[in-house]
Structure 1
Amino acid sequence: MKSTGIIRNVDGLGRIVLPKDLRKQYGITPDTPLEIMTDSDCIVLRKYRPAGCCEFCGDVADDVVIFHGKPICGACRKALAMM
């Protein structure tokens, strides 16, 4: 893991603030669900994506295919083909 050099305190309710630069870099908005995991002595935050979730639109569809390691739904494949 790479250190950002940013230090934040946990408030009385257990919250921390993610710096704006990191939120922007990783596309985290107020509606972005984050998955909380642990790895030995680390707490890891990751954007939550349910299984079968399209990489582009975020929809969970039955017609998802994996392209270069990324799940893509039929609607997004059609939109890409029109470009």
Structure 2
Amino acid sequence: MAKANLLSGVDVRKVKKMRLLSRADLKSRGITFEDTQLRELVKIGKFPKPVKMGLRRNAWLESDIDAWIARLIAERDGVAA
């Protein structure tokens, strides 16, 4: 069986510009949900899905988190995001 190319279909130029945020990074941005709350929000589509980094390690795309925050602000201000 041939080994799958992990970058198949991925634009490497875009990946180089991406930044991943850890749970600590989320907390430093004021996102202080408990792990169970965060999992539930992801499950119901109210928080961005994480990128699986390993068996017990997740990270979030900074751009996804920024868009989520912008959407919350737009909802607060009554503006369609």
TM-score (norm 1): 0.25
TM-score (norm 2): 0.25
**Bigger helix share:** 2
**Bigger strand share:** 1
* Structure of higher RCO (CA pairs closer than 8 Å, 6+ residues apart): 2
